[in-house]
């Protein structure tokens, strides 16, 4: 989902799947980042909703964050991947 203001893209809201073990680490505050293929052009200040997904089924649990720093890993031999920080919980 893209959020516009005056016809200009302000933020993108990414909705992505996450396995239960990692969802639990995020929920507990022990995991404050995501490593992803950058197929969505993740940017700082975008929103990301992590939806718990296991064996082809969404559990209904989800959390939304603002993306903080985005580190592109192309210079580290992981072309097309990024790591981004998860800031404040928005939901």
Helices (H), the chain: 20-28
Q: What is the pTM of this model?
A: 0.85
Other beta carbons within 10 angstroms of residue 37's beta carbon come to: 11
CATH classification of the domain holding 10: 2.30.130.30
CA nearest to 26, candidates 38, 35, 37: 35
Other beta carbons within 10 angstroms of residue 90's beta carbon come to: 11
Judged against a pLDDT cut of 60, whether residue 32 lies above it is answered with: yes
Domain around 73? 2-89
* pLDDT for res 88: 84
The band of 11, judged by pLDDT with boundaries at 50, 70 and 90, is confident
Domain total for the chain?
1
Helix (H, G, I), strand (E, B) or coil at 24: helix
């Amino acid at each position: 989902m893209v959020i516009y203001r005056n016809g200009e893209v302000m933020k993108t809201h990414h909705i992505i799947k996450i396995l239960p073990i990692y969802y639990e680490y995020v929920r507990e505050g022990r995991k404050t980042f995501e490593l992803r293929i950058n197929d969505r052009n993740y940017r700082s200040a975008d929103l990301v909703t992590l939806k718990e997904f296991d064996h082809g089924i969404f559990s209904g649990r989800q959390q939304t964050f603002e993306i903080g720093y985005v580190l592109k890993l192309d210079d580290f031999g992981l072309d097309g991947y990024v790591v981004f920080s998860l800031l404040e919980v928005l939901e």
